[in-house]
Structure 1
Amino acid sequence: MESITLEVTQGVYKTAKEAREAGRVPIVYYGKGIENANFSADYQEFRRAYKKGGKSTIINFIDENKQEFPVLIHEVQYHPVTDEFLHIDVMAVNMDKAIHTEIPLVFFGEAPAIKDLGGVLTHNKDVIAVKCLPKDLVHEIQVDISPLIDFHSSITVGDIKAPQGIEILDVAGINVIGVSAPRAEEEAVVAPAPAEGEEGEKPAEGEADEKKEEK
């Protein structure tokens, strides 16, 4: 299990706004049977930890008293304009009890249906629901796409090989990834040229005689 350490402070700032103004990210810590607590972490330190671990890696919070809190990031709120972190929710983790979470899927390899047939990769799932002990949690699960040999091939949840100690909870028959046929190029429709003698409308009966008389 990969582990990440993040230094946090508890109860130093009265409001989330005050923490953000000090260059920190406000964090709410909660879990079953424990009292909620407010932490904050240095913005850049949290950014690096989240980039490395995401929501599928145990992060060990260490507060100013050197007390450790193993957590999983549950929810991240972003500023609607700047996309900066606004608020983080983390769940307390009991290292002796199984947890339910999601692990990202990372696809690798070369699909013959794309290389040889010009198909287009279609993703249906990018994460997979799992159950495991915290010590068995992995940051990602890799999926080889080389079995996609034609447009009828697909990789389902049941085809994914989970690392030891991890139980996949999603239904085995769910389609994860496949290849669709390329769209045929639309041919421009050219209107046929008018046949000889059809360039203009024929004069109504009687009009031709009237024009002759005018001459």
Structure 2
Amino acid sequence: MKTYQLTAEPRTDLGKKAAKALREENKIPVVLNGGEIVELPYTGTLKAGEKLVEIDAKRGIITTDLMVSNEDVRKLIYTPDIFAIELDLNGEKRNAVLREVQFHPVKDTILHIDLLEVNENKPVVVEVPVKLEGHAEGVKAGGKLTLSMKKIKVKAPYTAIPERVVINIDHLGLGKTLQIGDLHFEGLELMNAKNAVVCAVQLTRAARGAAAKA
């Protein structure tokens, strides 16, 4: 994946009113999930913006509330590309991937961002864009190529996730489909249903006519 540099500040004033005031300053509230899992009761010291969320009676996870500039995330959000995010939090470096973005239902402005903290040893699930490569046999025979899945969910350490998954379609025949279960990529676990159709070569009227004449 490409790398995206992002500067963030800890956010300690929480709640709907505080979030609204933040957006009026052209900033966006962010939550960094996937932090350290600790035993309860927790005896350590939380940093600015950090809070402890209970998993069960014995364990908790540390999440971090942040704020970022609206302008700083535009090229991260409004793009088909995926990124490994290098967070600069008061000089501390943290690695993350984009988990979810909430938009205003009318204005389409960004309301909230969820990030997931990552490291080289922890697999994460990311939607990766699909790139079709080659010239399908079915298209040469008069069929029409359709792409049903523009992105595929993959699971792997973030350092092993590619910018795109490239699928060769040279041998895809007329009327045939390519499903998730037909694919394999070294080091990646595919998380979509095995029978989900990625792409297909559909029969066109012209192709049907040619087949009938034959």
TM-based fold match above 0.5: yes
Equivalent-residue separation in structure 2 for 1:44 and 1:116 (angstroms): 48
For the 8 Å contact 2:156–2:189, the answer to whether it is kept is yes
Which secondary structure state, in structure 2, belongs to the residue aligned with residue 147 of structure 1?
Answer: coil
24, 27, 30: which one aligns with 1:24: 27
Which secondary structure state, in structure 1, belongs to the residue aligned with residue 201 of structure 2?
Answer: strand
- 1:195-210 matches, within 5 Å, as none
| Residue 171 of structure 1: how far off its partner (Å) | 4.9
What whole-Å deviation, never above 9, does each CA across 1:59-84 have from its counterpart, x for those lacking one? 11111x21122112111111122222
Q: Which residue does 1:4 correspond to in 2?
A: 4
Which secondary structure state, in structure 2, belongs to the residue aligned with residue 36 of structure 1?
Answer: strand
| CA distance 1:89–1:145, shift in 2 (3 Å) | same
Question: 2:65 matched to 1:38?
Answer: yes
Q: Which residue does 1:60 correspond to in 2?
A: 86
Equivalent-residue separation in structure 2 for 1:134 and 1:5 (angstroms): 16
For the 8 Å contact 1:53–1:139, the answer to whether it is kept is no
What whole-Å deviation, never above 9, does each CA across 1:195-214 have from its counterpart, x for those lacking one? xxxxxxxxxxxxxxxxxxxx
| CA distance 1:108–1:80, shift in 2 (3 Å) | farther
Which secondary structure state, in structure 1, belongs to the residue aligned with residue 119 of structure 2?
Answer: coil
176, 185, 198: which one aligns with 1:176: 198
Q: Which residue does 1:137 correspond to in 2?
A: 161
Gaps of 5+ in 2: 38-60, 207-214
Higher relative contact order (CA 8 A, sep 6+): 2
| Residue 30 of structure 1: how far off its partner (Å) | 1.7
What whole-Å deviation, never above 9, does each CA across 1:6-53 have from its counterpart, x for those lacking one? 111112665221221111222112226232222111112201123457
| Residue 148 of structure 1: how far off its partner (Å) | 2.9
Q: Tell me how many residue pairs correspond in the alignment.
A: 179
What whole-Å deviation, never above 9, does each CA across 1:123-165 have from its counterpart, x for those lacking one? 33332232211211122212233333312x2222244342x42
Equivalent-residue separation in structure 2 for 1:60 and 1:44 (angstroms): 16
Percent identity reads: 27
What whole-Å deviation, never above 9, does each CA across 1:165-189 have from its counterpart, x for those lacking one? 22324454543210222368xxxxx
If the length of structure 2 is used for normalisation, what is the TM-score? 0.70
Q: Which residue does 1:50 correspond to in 2?
A: 77
For the 8 Å contact 1:154–1:179, the answer to whether it is kept is yes
| Residue 112 of structure 1: how far off its partner (Å) | 4.5
Gaps of 5+ in 1: 185-215
Question: 2:188 matched to 1:166?
Answer: yes
Q: Which residue does 1:204 correspond to in 2?
A: none
For the 8 Å contact 2:128–2:165, the answer to whether it is kept is yes
More strand by share: 2
If the length of structure 1 is used for normalisation, what is the TM-score? 0.70
Which secondary structure state, in structure 1, belongs to the residue aligned with residue 171 of structure 2?
Answer: coil
Equivalent-residue separation in structure 1 for 2:78 and 2:139 (angstroms): 30
What whole-Å deviation, never above 9, does each CA across 1:71-126 have from its counterpart, x for those lacking one? 12111111122222111111121332222333221234443434551x33333333
Equivalent-residue separation in structure 2 for 1:53 and 1:38 (angstroms): 26
